[in-house]
Amino acid sequence: MSAIVHPPAGTGSPTARLIVHFVGSIQEVLRTMAKVTVTVGAPMLKKDPLPSYDVSGVIGFSGEFVGSMVLSFKNATAVAIVSNFTGMPIEPGSPDFADAVGELANMIAGSAKTSFGGNTNISVPSIILGSGHTVAQLHGVPCLVIPCHTEAGDFAVEVNIKPMVATRPVQRS
Amino acid sequence: MKILMVDDSRTMRNIQKNVLKTLGDPACTEAGDGLEALTCVASQPNGFDLMLVDWNMPNMDGLTFVKRLREKDKTTPVIMVTTEAEKSRIIEAIKAGVNNYVIKPFTPDSLLERVKQTLAKCNSVAA
Ligand SMILES: [Mg+2]
């Protein structure tokens, strides 16, 4: 892991402590699957109605940690990264475009949850297309945005996850 | 060689197909979830030589698929290819009857290596 991340002041929340795991998995997934080097900026607290980029892959978490992760790209960035990932040029309108964004989100979320531990399940990805969309957040849980920079442009990973405090049995599929 | 690829991401299946092309251009059948995979298995009476199975999929996940498969077929080599990388999950998959395990993200070389290793091992047991 190359980036050292200092959470912003006042965000010493459980969500902030998970961020380092996401940073590592973003960099590993993009490097291994798309040969893209990602540098990461300081995570920011997301102010509520701020929209995500043009295309987002959303993964839900359940079990010991609950909430969601959003991988969000500008179209141009997504086209470049997804084409590298799939090994062929992909147009934003094609079904493979959404599929590839979803699978990248799946791998980032999966690697991160393995890294932060606990008995947590991830959902299959949902894809949202269209500029200016927003993804609803868990009430009372900070949403931290990890700004990501690549040669192909910028993207962001939004993390809105909290530990489940209740000690009821974990649902397993 | 006949290979069944089970993953809800078509992109992932395409990547795997490209990697496995070097194994003498195998015939690949694709399924997007465990239920589709069971249908593929039922309609292939001579069976497959290898299965690559994702864990997280809609309708029926890969672990459930492998358990159902192993009720009837104890021998076809199955490699789980998944982001699920906790030790407890790997043990669960092996108990269900998975022969080998590849963690996503993977490099083409590491996938190919694991496939060759699995085929060699399973074929030597069968011989
Ligand atoms: Mg999947």
The complex scores an ipTM of 0.94
Residue A75 above 50 pLDDT? yes
Domain membership flag for residue A7: no
Q: Calculate how far, in angstroms, residue A126's C-alpha sits from the geometric centre of ligand 1.
A: 11
Classified as helix, coil or strand, A110 is helix
3-state SS record for B6-54 = ECCCHHHHHHHHHHHCCCCCCEEEEECCHHHHHHHHHCCCCCCCEEEEC
Chain A nearest-CA residue for B90: A114
Nearest to B56 among A32, A100, A124 (CB): A124
Contact between chains at B11 and A86 (C-beta distance less than 8 A): yes
How many Å apart are CA B31 and CA B21, to the nearest integer?
A: 18
Is B37 contained in some domain?
A: yes
Arithmetic mean of pLDDT, A106-126: 94
Q: Residue A30 sits in a domain of what CATH number?
A: 3.40.1550.10
CB within 8 Å: A111 and B61: no
Neighbours of ion ligand 1 (CB under 5 A): B 8, 54, 56
Q: Which helix (H) or strand (E) holds B60?
A: none
Q: Kindly report the CA angle at B65 between B61 and B70, in degrees rounded to 5?
A: 155
Q: What band does A25 get if pLDDT is binned at 50, 70 and 90? A: very high
Average pLDDT over residues A101-127: 95
Q: Model's pTM, two decimal places?
A: 0.91
Residue A172 resides in a domain: no
Q: Which domain holds residue A151?
A: 14-162
pLDDT (0 to 100) of residue A166 = 54
Tell me which residue range forms the domain holding B31.
Answer: 2-120
CB contact at 8 A, A145 and A50: no
Mean pLDDT, chain A, rounded, equals 88
Sign of CA dihedral B30, B79, A112, A27: negative
Our CA-based measurement puts residue B61 at a distance from the nearest CA of chain A, in whole angstroms, of 8
B126 is a domain residue: no
Q: Rounded to whole angstroms, how far apart are CA atoms B82 and B97?
A: 15
Q: Is residue A94 part of a domain?
A: yes
The C-alpha angle with vertex A46 and arms to A143 and A102, in degrees rounded to 5, equals 65
Residue partners of B47: CB distance under 8 A and separation at least 6: B2, B41, B73, B76
* Interval A98-111 mean pLDDT: 97
Alpha-carbon radius of gyration of chain A:
15
Q: Which of A154, A123, A113 is nearest to A57 (CA)?
A: A123
Longest Cα pair distance anywhere in chain A, in angstroms? Answer: 47
Given a cut of 50, whether residue A2 has pLDDT beyond it is no
Is A28 within the bounds of a domain? yes
- Cβ–Cβ gap A124/B82 under 8 Å: no
Q: Is B94 strand, coil or helix?
A: helix
Does any domain span residue B125?
A: no
pLDDT at A170: 52
Q: How many domains does chain A have?
A: 1
Distance A125 CA to ligand 1 centre (A): 8
Q: Is residue A27 part of a domain?
A: yes
Shortest CA gap A49–chain B (Å): 30
Residue B71 lies in a domain: yes
Chain A residue closest in CA terms to B59: A124
Amino acid identity of A171?
Answer: Q
Q: Has residue A171 got a pLDDT over 70?
A: no
- Return the pLDDT at A49: 64
What pLDDT is stored for residue A11 in this prediction?
Answer: 55
What total number of domains does chain B contain? Answer: 1
Closest Cβ–Cβ partner in A28, A87, A102 for B105: A28
Q: List the CATH number of the domain containing B68.
A: 3.40.50.2300
Res A101: pLDDT = 97
> B127 lies in a domain?
no
